[in-house]
Structure 1
């Protein structure tokens, strides 16, 4: 079963989807990957004794500021290093 949803996207994301043969599949893949990451994070937290609940989420939601453009760029740089296999063996990564 599917449901039609209308969303607003940044220009670069919309341009990327315009180039996709099946935009719905691309969006579905991205959202499922995000859902999988959230489930994996929850499982890792449970493994060390932290049980994240909806009540807990509601309590902390909005207490942290949104990441700045600089923080998002640094996160992307580190993610790219991980994907490229260039993360230092000693884990000593400093901000760019």
Structure 2
């Protein structure tokens, strides 16, 4: 079941939404991603993790730094290793 709603957004958001062929699907996907993140944070808090805005921001910065270090060559090697592992042809080396 779906429900039609009207929303107001800032100009920059409206410009971004104008690029989408299906705004409803884009917004639905975005909100569902946000809901999943909220569920994850709630679950982490329930098992004892102390999440703060500052800690989440720092974790985001660290993730960005780590992702920036992934070169095309490293990505290609990782894909090859994953493919070999999924086919059961990977050997373990020291």
TM-score range, shorter chain: 0.5 to 0.7
> What TM-score do the two structures reach when normalised by structure 1?
0.54
Equivalent residues in 2 for 1:8-87, closer than 5 Å: 8-48=8-48, 75=57, 79=60, 82-83=63-64, 85-86=67-68
Alpha-carbon distance in structure 1 between the residues aligned to 2:61 and 2:18: 24
Q: Tell me the number of residue pairs that the alignment of Structure 1 and Structure 2 aligns.
A: 64
Greater fraction helix: 2
> What TM-score do the two structures reach when normalised by structure 2?
0.55
- 1:20 aligned counterpart, secondary structure: coil
Higher Cα radius of gyration: 2
Deviation of 1:79 (Å): 3.8
Listed as ranges, the gaps of 5+ residues in structure 2 are 70-94
